[in-house]
Amino acid sequence: MQVTAFLLGMLVFVVYTVLIRAFYTVKPDERAILTSFGRARRIGRLMVEDASLNEEEKQRYRFPRLQVIGPGGPYFKWPWQEVHKVRVVTEAIDLTWDPTKSQHTIEAVTKDNLTTGVGGQIRFRVSENNLYAYFFGVDKPLEHVMGYFISVLRERIANFVDPKGESLVGDTELSTGSAAAELSEGVSINDLRKNLPLLNDYMEQQCRSTGARYGIELDAALITQIDPPPEVDRALSAINTTRNQVAADISTARADAEQQITMSKRAVDIARNNAQAEVAPLKELANTLAQIKTTGGPGALRTYIRNLRVPLLKRATRIVQTAAPK
């Protein structure tokens, strides 16, 4: 009786492990790999290659290409084989995600030694070309990717300088009118807020190698929040207000100076025209006298001058005649 029960149990176990658990399916958003006695099925000697890795990283992250089982089924496997499935759709996760602690923002220190909180999301998906790294390369690949991303983000924030803001303090920029309106920039937190698209692009470029490192590809970085502590925010607001006031005063002074210069130029032009108006009759009279002397001789000139004196003598009330010097 006991032998029969044992054989019946063995039969049930074999049916369950061989017939029931031997078949499996893969969903449309999933990919699977099959291991036999713990060894994954590989594609010959092909290795994962990524041009974004340097020579040292290529030696460290050297993973084989695996045979990936696509959606469909049912597939059959032997009892000594094991199926590993993973979702390959693009997923989003908050930057503050950390399985070891609860936090609302990611703290980072700027170039001005100001502590700021960063928030946002990243979109990622599992790399089908490097499932070996995802399953066997690292213990918790998503935590590794988040740690790598936050490390790069903090390094970038600590060294971030707005390339346009650097030139705002230059004399050439101050001499132009457009620079005055942008003098409120130049503080690192303001620069970060202004250049969020640039910061997101930088993070995407720096994290392109995560697919080759951990088997997770970064699809996009969406940093949407950079908030300093309240006391720092109030100080920044005061700085911005002061700088805006300085920019407005500079614009007003520049406009007054340009108006004074324009008025001075017009005054000079008026004085020049008046002088030319006074000199022109004298020049014309001199030309006339020279022409009379040339045409009629000295006698004609004396006669012309005497005729000019007649109207003056009629209006004179007293005439003083002096002897000519000898």
Q: What is the pLDDT of residues 245-269, one digit of tens each?
A: 999 999 999 999 999 999 999 999 9
Residue 131 lies in a domain: yes
State the SS3 of the chain.
Answer: CHHHHHHHHHHHHHHHHHHHCCEEEECCCEEEEEEECCEECEEEEEECCCCCCCHHHHHHCCCEEECCECCEEEEECCCCEEEEEEECCCEEEECCCCCCCCCCCEEEECCCCCEEEEEEEEEEEECHHHHHHHHHHCCCHHHHHHHHHHHHHHHHHHHCCCHHHHHHHCHHHHCCHHHHCCCCCCCHHHHHHHCHHHHHHHHHHHCCCHHHHHCEEEEEEEEEEEECCHHHHHHHHHHHHHHHHHHHHHHHHHHHHHHHHHHHHHHHHHHHHHHHHHHHHHHHHHHHHHHHHHHHHHHHHHHHHHHHHHHHHHHCCCCCCCCCCC
Rounded alpha-carbon distances, angstroms, from residue 113 to 110, 185, 246: 5, 17, 25
Question: What is the overall mean pLDDT for the chain?
Answer: 83
- The residue segments making up the domain with residue 244 are 230-292
Q: Is the pTM of this model over 0.75?
A: no
Higher-confidence position of 236 and 299: 299
pLDDT at 213 over 60: yes
Q: 234 and 223: one domain?
A: no
Does residue 310 form part of some domain?
no
Residue 324 within a domain: no
pLDDT band for position 69 (cuts 50, 70, 90): very high
Chain centroid to Cα 198, Å, comes to 3
The whole-number pLDDT of residue 239 equals: 80
> Which pLDDT belongs to residue 271?
94
Residues 135 and 245 occupy one common structural domain = no
Q: How confident is the model at residue 326 (pLDDT cuts 50, 70, 90)?
A: low
pLDDT tens digit sequence for 270-282: 999 999 999 998 8
What is the reported pLDDT for 205? 84
On whether residue 107 sits in a domain, the answer given is: yes
In whole angstroms, what is the distance from residue 178 CA to residue 321 CA? 74
Most confident of 60-69, 103-112, 139-148: 60-69
My answer on whether 77 and 205 are in the same domain is yes
| Cα–Cα dist 248/183, whole Å | 10
My answer on whether 61 and 203 are in the same domain is yes
Count structural domains, the chain: 2
pLDDT at 117 over 90: no
pLDDT over 70 at 179, yes or no: no
Say if 261 falls within a structural domain: yes
